[in-house]
Amino acid sequence: MKRAVEPLPPFGELFNKFREVLASHNKAVEMIADMGEKLGGEYLFDTNYIERAYAELSTAVWGSIKSFDAFTRGRYPNLMDAFIRIDNRISDMMSNTASTSGEMIVFREDTLWDMYYEVGGKNAGLAEVGNMLKLDVPEAFFVTTHAFDGFITFNGLSERVEALSKTGSVSENDFAALRDAVIGSEIPVTLNDAFDNAIRKMRAKCGVGCSVAVRSSAEEEDGKLSFAGQFDTVLNVPLESTAIKEAYKKVVASLFSLHSIAYQRRFGYDARKMKMAVGCVAMVDAVSSGVVYSIDPSGKKENVLISANWGLGKTIVEGLVEADIYRVKKGREPQILGTRCGKKESMTVLLPGGGIDTIVTPEDMRGRPVLDSEVITDLAVRAQSLEKHFRRPQDIEWAIDRDGRVFILQSRELRLGDGEGERCDSVVKSLALKPTLMRNKGIAVQKGIGSGTVFVVKTPDDVRAMPKGAILVSKRDFSVFVRIMNDVSAIITDIGTPTSHMAALSREFRIPTIVNTDDATQVLSNGMEITVSIDDEGSAVYEGLIGEEQGCNDAKAPSVTEGHEYLRKRYVLRHISPLNLIEPLHDKFKPEECKTMHDILRFIHEKSIMELVDCARHKKASLRGYTAVALDLEIPASIVLIDMGGGLVKRGTNANNVARKSATAAEIASIPLKAIIGGMGYPGAWHNEAVPLRMKDFFMSMTRMPDIHSTSMSSPIQNVAVASRDYVNLSLKFGYHFNIVDCYCSENPRNNHVYFRFSGGATDLVQRSRRVQFIASILKEHGFTIWTTGDLLIARLANIGRVRMEEVLDQLGRLIAFVRKLDALLRDDAAIEYYAQRFKDGNYELMEGGGKG
């Protein structure tokens, strides 16, 4: 049923409502930015602050929806529903009563994006890859944290879990006893039934002979922290009730181990509160598998790094073999830069009745690269789309089945240590005098300097005897190394890959690490004093110790933003800040798709402006009595001017202004508009020529709709100025970005204000945010108060005289014109300053490679 659309109110009234929408919208956006800043890791905050700030924000968003509703005459009733849905979610979160569906088991396809509390981070990630990105992922069902709670309570284990909190008093034996208790526990009847139903359904999907991988998915696994290799996975479990339930218990039990507790404690997790969801994921009978990093952790962000081996991925993530390594340059058509064919001594295969085996790789397969160029580029493309979707570098596990189908098994944020790799001079000098034992051997995983005594590890249990501050040298890597991560100075292995679980942990703990050196255990022996140095130029192992490295190296303590309490409290932001509704012409640009408060505000903003533009473009009835003319300017800015009175110079005494179709710049009487248009048309500021786009940007812009790069602006008018003599409200959309100016400019300085809002762009977020920084640096010079977050900028200036205001608006006009295509040229931070200086000097030329050298 369609709602009857009320007739439009007179334009003046409509416009006032529009301004109300903008004002409430802006206030809410600023609150989000402020919350983001306060919760960004630079402030100490408490729950009280979050509650207070959110209460204010939710009131502001609600107010914004109400005025939007009045402006659009109730055309988007679903927006309030979206608000209520998101608000409930946040309120539940804040009161720690995160509502769950109450389901014991959820299938992958029924898992919604925000069910990470119930299905755990890893499972939620898999669901998102399959459900949202539509990439091939295996069929799966997830046993929820709700089921976990029931299981623990039913078996009377809660008190024993509680006892874990007594730091120091819990031994490995206590953990072993608790694990045994979990494994010996009974599955409650309701969970038992849920398992049986899920198994039946799964058989119907994948066949009776199907088997699954039973994997951990702790509440926050694969969130900000990887938990790489911390918990058990049972591979190739027959899809049969007893086997699945036994595997479930085994995975749950792995939550309780000394090394995983050590990991959790480091980041401030409370082991008592950790909940384990479990995923039962159809087993891919893999011909080959591996890991893709969407950026090369050795520092080349433009490259993708792929590691691969025959069979299942276990050999790669556990660092058991010297795998193939492929480096690929990103782009729509990725280019393979280099292939390093590993020895691939062993491979993991499925056993027919269940379980797996690691076998010696047949001779003819060892020297042969695992992947051909087609698959390599395909993986690189997938990695890029995952990175784009999750907006963070990704660590992706993949497998290819016997039919050649590529499956994504897991995608999580790739953690990269930053800031390391720079050496101070004293260390460089000191190292230069020492004999070199190894140079540029193996693959650098984490940069830094570590100095200490060699401790060779032959079995995982050996690590217990490792002295504090030692350099761990091992044949291969083991994820149990996490136990000693706090005490180790560096790690070197004979074999391994930079994409293993241990490598992920080395980066998380910022331990200088080299893997795959081939012969470290032969070159280095117990008790040797050595120094490991890994930086941008390469890696080296020197004889002897250096003393000064502490002064040069960052402390290894985790940073504030890695703390569990911090991350948990910050969760509310997931429902507040991220922007998912990006492209207005996309069919998903609707209230039902709003996932965050920011989405709601974005929707309001876009639709309000379009409503106004639509009114101007079609000269709707409400405009009766107002003059609406297309501005005939020297620049193709396609602006419609709606005159609220005094905005246009009258033509003769009897001219019928209402009938006018167009007006020139000279006919603008609105003081602020005239100044802005004058600036936009300033010689050289507006560029008609196309700016060369790099492939990445071109690729990015292809995924969006309007064409900013065409030199003509033949697209329908999407720009509107509402003006009177002293006032203008200007909404400009050029390609993918918005400018809004709201300005009052009269003889009385106390009434004068200018508000400028800029957002969006066609290039990637980094370049867009550089453009925003550029704009901020210019406007600051003119006395504006600036707010920026990501690619959004809000600038204000008030209480200045008319003449000064006109000067400012002229500069603002030049800026609006000049930055239209600038983001594409801001390839590094130096370019910001370069163009800012040129702009200040009145030089508006755009140069490819500006700011280099």
Tell me the window of 24-32, 249-257, 287-295, 555-563 that interacts with another protein (CB under 8 A): 555-563
Distance from the first to the final alpha carbon of the chain: 63
Phi, psi (degrees; rounded to nearest 5) at 195: -60, -50
Q: Comparing C-alpha atoms, which of 217, 36, 198 is closest to residue 144? A: 217
At closest approach, how far in Å is the CB of 509 from another protein? 13
Site for another protein (CB under 8 A): which residue of 78, 171, 559, 688?
Answer: 559
For residues 12 and 558, which CB has a smaller minimum distance to another protein in the complex?
Answer: 558
CB of 211 closer than 8 Å to CB of 283? yes
CA angle 47, 52, 58 (to 5 degrees): 120
Residue 360 interacts with another protein (CB under 8 A)? no
At closest approach, how far in Å is the CB of 49 from another protein? 5
Site for another protein (CB under 8 A): which residue of 19, 27, 38, 434?
Answer: 38
Residue 113 interacts with another protein (CB under 8 A)? no
At closest approach, how far in Å is the CB of 836 from another protein? 26
For residues 38 and 340, which CB has a smaller minimum distance to another protein in the complex?
Answer: 38
810-842 CB burial, b ≥16 within 10 A, e <16 = bbbbbbbbbbbbbbbbbbeeebbebbbebbeee
Pairing of strands 324-329, 303-310: antiparallel
Site string for another protein, 510-549 (x = CB under 8 A): ----------------------------------------
Residue 566 interacts with another protein (CB under 8 A)? yes
At closest approach, how far in Å is the CB of 90 from another protein? 17
For residues 560 and 690, which CB has a smaller minimum distance to another protein in the complex?
Answer: 560
Residue 224 interacts with another protein (CB under 8 A)? no
At closest approach, how far in Å is the CB of 554 from another protein? 8
Tell me the window of 483-491, 557-565, 655-663, 743-751 that interacts with another protein (CB under 8 A): 557-565
Site for another protein (CB under 8 A): which residue of 9, 150, 558, 678?
Answer: 558
| 3-class secondary-structure state, position 114 | coil
User: Which contiguous run of DSSP H or E holds residue 148?
Assistant: helix 145-154
For residues 42 and 461, which CB has a smaller minimum distance to another protein in the complex?
Answer: 42
Residue 703 interacts with another protein (CB under 8 A)? no
For another protein (CB under 8 A), the number of binding residues is 22
At closest approach, how far in Å is the CB of 42 from another protein? 6
User: Which contiguous run of DSSP H or E holds residue 474?
Assistant: strand 471-474
Residue 560 interacts with another protein (CB under 8 A)? yes
d(CA 495, CA 514): 10
- In sequence order, what E strands does 790-839 have? 792-798
For residues 11 and 269, which CB has a smaller minimum distance to another protein in the complex?
Answer: 269
Residue 487 interacts with another protein (CB under 8 A)? no
208-219 CB burial, b ≥16 within 10 A, e <16 = eebbbbbbbbbb
Site string for another protein, 4-33 (x = CB under 8 A): ------------------------------
d(CA 628, CA 659): 9
At closest approach, how far in Å is the CB of 58 from another protein? 19
At closest approach, how far in Å is the CB of 44 from another protein? 5
d(CA 135, CA 112): 16
Residue 563 interacts with another protein (CB under 8 A)? yes
What single letter denotes the amino acid at residue 557? A
Tell me the window of 18-26, 466-474, 486-494, 564-572 that interacts with another protein (CB under 8 A): 564-572
At closest approach, how far in Å is the CB of 267 from another protein? 9
Residue 462 interacts with another protein (CB under 8 A)? no
d(CA 70, CA 149): 46
At closest approach, how far in Å is the CB of 454 from another protein? 27
**Of 292-331, which residues contact another protein (CB under 8 A)?**
none
| 3-class secondary-structure state, position 102 | coil
d(CA 211, CA 285): 9
**Of 41-100, which residues contact another protein (CB under 8 A)?**
41-49
Tell me the window of 359-367, 448-456, 559-567, 637-645 that interacts with another protein (CB under 8 A): 559-567
- In sequence order, what E strands does 394-461 have? 394-400, 406-413, 436-439, 443-446, 448-457
Instruction: Name residue 211's beta-bridge partners.
Output: 238
Pairing of strands 639-645, 288-293: unpaired
Residue 177 interacts with another protein (CB under 8 A)? no
Token digits of residue 831: 């370019």
CA angle 742, 743, 748 (to 5 degrees): 155
For residues 52 and 391, which CB has a smaller minimum distance to another protein in the complex?
Answer: 52
For residues 342 and 563, which CB has a smaller minimum distance to another protein in the complex?
Answer: 563
d(CA 366, CA 84): 58
**Exposure of 565 in the CB half-sphere (CA atoms within 13 A):** 9
At closest approach, how far in Å is the CB of 491 from another protein? 22
At closest approach, how far in Å is the CB of 569 from another protein? 5
Residue with tokens 């997830």: 142
At closest approach, how far in Å is the CB of 272 from another protein? 13
In this structure, what DSSP letter does residue 799 have? S
In this structure, how many other beta carbons lie within 10 angstroms of the beta carbon of residue 149?
A: 13
Tell me the window of 39-47, 213-221, 798-806, 811-819 that interacts with another protein (CB under 8 A): 39-47
At closest approach, how far in Å is the CB of 268 from another protein? 5
- In sequence order, what E strands does 166-248 have? 211-218, 233-238
Residue 785 interacts with another protein (CB under 8 A)? no
Q: Comparing C-alpha atoms, which of 598, 533, 824, 825 is closest to residue 701? A: 824
Residue 564 interacts with another protein (CB under 8 A)? yes
**Max Cα separation, the chain?**
101
At closest approach, how far in Å is the CB of 488 from another protein? 18
Residue 268 interacts with another protein (CB under 8 A)? yes
For residues 41 and 692, which CB has a smaller minimum distance to another protein in the complex?
Answer: 41
d(CA 828, CA 770): 8
Site residues for another protein per CB under 8 A: 38, 41-49, 268, 555, 557-560, 562-566, 569
